[in-house]
């Protein structure tokens, strides 16, 4: 089996920088909080850089880094480092973003409703419904079967519709646990380790 071609540091850095806006959008939708999401992106950048010899030139940097970000998020959720929650300030800012359609959804409600979904369903609807990934690509990122991805998206759509139709929010979308200091400390430590 032949090893794929890798990128030079400069090329890798450029492709990684181009992926950052998408990582932020994916992370924000997943975590529901701007600061937590940005810490998540910084963790992802560190891990991607450390593993750059494994990235194959010509493949999708965005998809590759999305896998790192979602794995970091779910593994940190298990350790309670990052906590998915609803950020009211972010929602207000999103609400003020120009909407191109008539009778738009109240985007603050949508952000909040997303946090009512299970993590798997939220990830699925973000990848397919917001990020524009095909079911196949999304399944690859989430490391599940295509049928599972389709099912998650379908259930997520149904649940979101019900929540938004009925305004049925629970306290699940109200939590605020900000543990970003620990994340930042980890990042500084990782940089020091790589540079030493």
Partner 1 sequence: MKSKDDMQQRLGLGLKNMYLSVLEEPLPDDMLALLDQLDDADDNGDKNDKNNGASRSDLNDQG
Residues interacting with partner 1, by CB under 8 A? 9-10, 13, 16-17, 20-22, 24-25, 28-29, 38, 41-42, 45-47, 49-53, 93-94, 97, 99-101, 103-105, 107, 110-111, 125-126, 129-132, 157, 160-161, 164-165, 187, 190-191, 194-195
As measured in angstroms, the least distance from the Cβ of 115 to partner 1 is 12
Of the pair 93, 176, the CB lying nearest partner 1 is at 93
Alpha-carbon distance 154 to 120, whole Å?
Answer: 12
Kindly tell me which of 10 and 181 has the beta carbon lying closer to partner 1: 10
Distance CA 146, CA 149 (A): 5
Contact predicate 142/127, CB 8 Å: yes
Least CB distance from residue 94 to partner 1, whole Å?
Answer: 5
CB 107 within 8 A of CB 101: no
Name the minimum Å distance from CB 139 to partner 1: 18
Residue 67 CB contacts under 8 Å (≥ 6 apart), including other chains: 141, 143
CA 94: distance to chain centroid? 17
Residue 111 Cβ vs partner 1, minimum distance, rounded to whole Å: 6
């Amino acid at each position: 089996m032949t090893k794929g071609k890798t990128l030079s540091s400069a090329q890798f850095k450029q492709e990684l920088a181009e992926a950052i806006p998408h990582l932020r959008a994916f992370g924000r939708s997943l975590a529901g909080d701007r600061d937590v999401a940005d810490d998540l992106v910084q963790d992802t950048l560190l891990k991607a850089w450390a593993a750059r010899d494994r990235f194959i030139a010509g493949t999708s940097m965005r998809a590759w880094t999305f896998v790192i970000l979602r794995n970091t998020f779910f593994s940190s959720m298990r350790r309670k480092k990052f906590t998915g929650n609803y950020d009211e300030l972010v929602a207000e800012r999103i609400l003020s973003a120009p909407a191109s359609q008539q009778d738009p959804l109240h985007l603050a409600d949508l952000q909040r409703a997303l946090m009512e979904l299970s993590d798997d369903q939220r990830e699925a609807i973000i990848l397919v419904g917001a990020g524009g990934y095909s079911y196949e690509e999304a399944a690859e990122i989430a490391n599940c079967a295509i049928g599972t991805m389709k099912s998650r998206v379908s259930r997520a759509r149904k649940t979101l519709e019900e929540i938004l139709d009925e305004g049925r929010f629970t306290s699940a979308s109200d939590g605020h646990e900000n543990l970003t200091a620990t994340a930042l400390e980890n990042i500084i430590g990782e940089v020091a380790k790589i540079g030493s």
